[in-house]
Amino acid sequence: MGFLKIEDLKVHFPIKGGLFGRTIDHVRAVDGVSFTLEKGKTYGLVGESGSGKSTTGRAIIGLNHVTSGKVYFEDKEITGVTKAKSDFRKDIQMIFQDPYSSLNPKKRVIDLVAEPLRNFEKLSRKEERIRVQELLELVGLNPESILKYPHEFSGGQRQRIGIARAVALKPKLIIADEPVSALDVSVQAQVLNFMKEIQDELDLTYMFISHDLGVIKHMCDHIGIMYKGRYVEEGTAKEIFDNPQHIYTKRLVAAIPDIDPRKREEMKQFRAEVNSEYEQSYNDYFNEEGLAYGLKPITDTHLVALPEKG
């Protein structure tokens, strides 16, 4: 069994309507998703806005209500456990997108970073202070800055505070939802490097949610591609980027701007081909509702959503 195993996860949100605000339909934000994370690796969840990637991440740690399906963490079922002090809450932490709004501006760094510690561990003031300083040092911030407020830091530094918070309890899994999307490239590099460093140091497993395929390729060992709440393809980074099989993935990968200006014409032609293939074979790859079929294995690691008949 895997480290984190998701089985047929569904998250449906009701649509209210009519005269009395009854539930008239559901938005199938996550519609039957299964995958497994390996310990110590980074798993990337990719998709465009509205694909359900963030909802999946939030559902795993209980921030979104799970409609059906199961979530296992180290062979224990944690589906829908909402108790704040359960063990897995300590082992699974989340990093959010916006370092500006995810930190309470009225709290000092020491209180922000110590908050998870206070929930789970009973430390004396002095012990707590030492732990927080260690954590700040770990994320490359000056340990003297524990009395500062978030606004006194730059975007990258703030995201590091967020990471310090997330690693405070020595978690085993970190779910990072677009952790660098709000940052400038040079700051982004800083945060990504740092996340790789502490991964080795603390033996962390990451689930990395992003729409930025460059970042995903740089960070991830395995990748899942989501579209309209379902998986269209899953595989190693190499399989996804070098040998995409599903037409949706092909188009997504082709759309990444190429860094070589001389390949411009070549890329344009390639994209035009992929786009026409996409339009022509759309009905082969998606059902009448425009949703992906179930995943079929192509190799041991590479799964593609193909129709029954093939």
Name the residues that contact another protein, by CB under 8 A.
18-21, 48-49, 154, 156-157, 184-190, 192-193, 196, 211-215, 217-219, 241, 251-252, 254-262, 264, 267-268, 271
Contacts of residue 274, defined as CB under 8 A and 6 or more positions apart, other chains included, come to 250, 251, 254
Q: Is the separation of the CB atoms in 223 and 235 below 8 Å? A: yes
For the CB of residue 18, give the shortest distance to another protein in the complex, in Å: 8
Given the complex with another protein, which of 260 and 289 has the nearer CB atom?
260
What CA–CA distance (Å, rounded) separates 198 from 110? 20
For the CB of residue 77, give the shortest distance to another protein in the complex, in Å: 34
CA distances from 127 to 114, 131, 194 (A): 11, 6, 25
Given the complex with another protein, which of 114 and 219 has the nearer CB atom?
219
DSSP per position, 260-302:
-GGGHHHHHHHHHHHHHHHHHHHHHHB-TTS-B--EEESSSS-
Distance of CA 185 to the CA centre of its chain: 19
The helix/strand/coil state of 21 is coil
Given the complex with another protein, which of 103 and 213 has the nearer CB atom?
213
Q: What is the DSSP letter of 286?
A: B
Q: Is the separation of the CB atoms in 199 and 270 below 8 Å? A: no
For the CB of residue 204, give the shortest distance to another protein in the complex, in Å: 17
For the CB of residue 99, give the shortest distance to another protein in the complex, in Å: 13
Structure tokens at 216: 């995903």
For the CB of residue 212, give the shortest distance to another protein in the complex, in Å: 8
Our CA angle for 275, 277, 281, nearest 5°, is: 125
Given the complex with another protein, which of 107 and 218 has the nearer CB atom?
218
| Among the listed residues 94, 104, 19, the one whose alpha carbon sits nearest the alpha carbon of residue 56 | 94
Given the complex with another protein, which of 146 and 187 has the nearer CB atom?
187
Given the complex with another protein, which of 60 and 215 has the nearer CB atom?
215
For the CB of residue 193, give the shortest distance to another protein in the complex, in Å: 5
Given the complex with another protein, which of 92 and 213 has the nearer CB atom?
213
| Among the listed residues 196, 168, 167, 169, the one whose alpha carbon sits nearest the alpha carbon of residue 180 | 196
For the CB of residue 217, give the shortest distance to another protein in the complex, in Å: 5
* Dihedral, 168, 169, 170, 175 alpha carbons, nearest 10: -80
